[in-house]
Amino acid sequence: MERFKALLAEKAEGRFAVRAGEFGPADLMDGDVAVAVTHSTLNYKDGLALTGKAPIIRRFPLVPGIDFSGTVLTSEHPDFKPGDDVILNGWGAGETHHGGYAEMARVNGDWLVKRPAAFTRAETMAIGTAGYTAMLAVLALEHNDVAPSNGPVLVTGAAGGVGTIAVAILGKLGYEVIAATGRMEEAEFLASLGAREVIARAELAAPARPLAKERWAGAIDVAGSHTLANALAMTRYGGCVAACGLAQGMELTTSVAPFILRAVTLAGIDSVMAPKEKRVAAWARLARDLDKGKLAALTATRPLKDVLALAPEILAGRVRGRIVLEVAGGLD
């Protein structure tokens, strides 16, 4: 691939901008695998990066995009050969290393996972970091003995990327899912994914008491702040809360009461630097436990050129489910 198109984030004299341009292989960063990128996606983190609302991008100029899928062009890594379909989630892509909003990428092969045969390249990006994170959270609940027989599981931010896939997975696994959302008009949609009950985000948004009535055996939280504190305060004895986001805020004002009086576990979920064995396990479980029909129902497809307009929408909570970005030809 002699020339390719990409989005490039730049910062000069304190002014942040993202522009489309044409580049060559010499513009790429170091790595032992070159990939022809066909698809990427838009996560909440990408929205923060593209708008400059948070310092996600830590070196400039840089190609944004924390995810991509595509086909290996060249490889010096023993695990990959030309023609292999691969996925990248995290590892600093779109933060310190050129990411997925380009038709070509060069990365460390240790960062890549082979595409599961159950999914197309587009479907892997319908999942993306959001869905892979949701699966890591489900695995954390299972690791901490939260089974369907233990009681309901709360999913916050349920109409968003992590939330919709978490609801779909948990529903298929037989859990009673309580979906919390700021968009009650999405209640029917969430029920179609597997939610048994839908509650308003406002029920969890105010400052929490140290302990409250026990309502769920586990939770997957994307919000942080008061929402996470309330999720902990309402978790049943021996339950687990998997925390993976900060949509409401980074602070956490709570007490030790849930931990020492109800033996609740707070499990932190990191998708960026998770070791490869965890990634492979998560993708294997996604191939087994994510209903592809429900994945299609929660996914929209757009060309890469639309991502700048979509970024403020995802931060405002106006994006339902997942967006697949067509990178190949997506800036034409």
Q: Nearest 5 degrees, angle CA 199-CA 200-CA 202? A: 135
Q: Is residue 104 part of a domain?
A: yes
Please check whether residues 179 and 253 belong to one and the same domain.
yes
The HSE-up count of residue 74 (CA atoms within 13 Å, CB side) is 9
How many Å from the N-terminal Cα to the C-terminal Cα in the chain? 16
H/E segment holding residue 276 = helix 276-289
Q: pLDDT tens, 60-81?
A: 999 999 999 999 999 999 999 9
Q: pLDDT tens, 235-292?
A: 999 999 999 999 999 999 999 999 999 999 999 999 999 999 999 999 999 999 999 9
Residue with tokens 């197309």: 120
Structural domain boundaries, residue 204: 129-268
pLDDT for 281 equals: 96
Kindly report the backbone phi and psi dihedral angles of residue 69, in degrees, each rounded to the nearest multiple of 5, phi listed first.
Answer: -130, 150
Q: Is residue 227 part of a domain?
A: yes
Please check whether residues 32 and 102 belong to one and the same domain.
yes
Please check whether residues 139 and 50 belong to one and the same domain.
no
Buried b (16+ CB within 10 A) or exposed e, 56-75: bbeeebbbbbbbbbbbbbeb
Q: pLDDT tens, 163-200?
A: 999 999 999 999 999 999 999 999 999 999 999 999 99
The CATH number of the domain holding residue 239 is: 3.40.50.720
Q: pLDDT tens, 3-34?
A: 999 999 999 888 999 999 999 999 999 999 99
How large is the average pLDDT for residues 31-44?
A: 97
Q: Is residue 290 part of a domain?
A: no
Residue type, 269: I
Output the CA–CA distances (angstroms, integers) from residue 111 to 87, 99, 103, 116, 210, in the order listed.
9, 12, 18, 15, 41
- Sign of the C-alpha dihedral computed for residues 110, 28, 99 and 331 taken in this order: negative
Give the chain's domain count: 2
Q: Is residue 273 part of a domain?
A: no
Please check whether residues 133 and 209 belong to one and the same domain.
yes
pLDDT for 1 equals: 67
Helices 44-51 + 307-315 axis angle, to 10? 110
Residue with tokens 């038709």: 103
Report d(CA 128, CA 132) in Å as an integer: 6
The CATH number of the domain holding residue 102 is: 3.90.180.10
Task: Give the count of beta carbons closer than 10 Å to the beta carbon of residue 226.
Answer: 19
Please check whether residues 136 and 64 belong to one and the same domain.
no
Report d(CA 263, CA 218) in Å as an integer: 12
> Domain end: 247, 268, 289, which one?
268
DSSP state of 110: G
Output the CA–CA distances (angstroms, integers) from residue 30 to 85, 89, 105, 111, 296, in the order listed.
20, 17, 10, 13, 35
pTM exceeds 0.75, yes or no: yes
Q: Is the pLDDT score of 93 beyond 90?
A: yes
How large is the average pLDDT for residues 74-93?
A: 97
Q: Is the peptide bond before 152 cis (omega within 30 degrees of 0)?
A: no
Q: pLDDT tens, 122-173?
A: 999 999 999 999 999 999 999 999 999 999 999 999 999 999 999 999 999 9
Q: Is residue 281 part of a domain?
A: no
How large is the average pLDDT for residues 190-211?
A: 97
pLDDT for 14 equals: 82
H/E segment holding residue 190 = helix 187-193
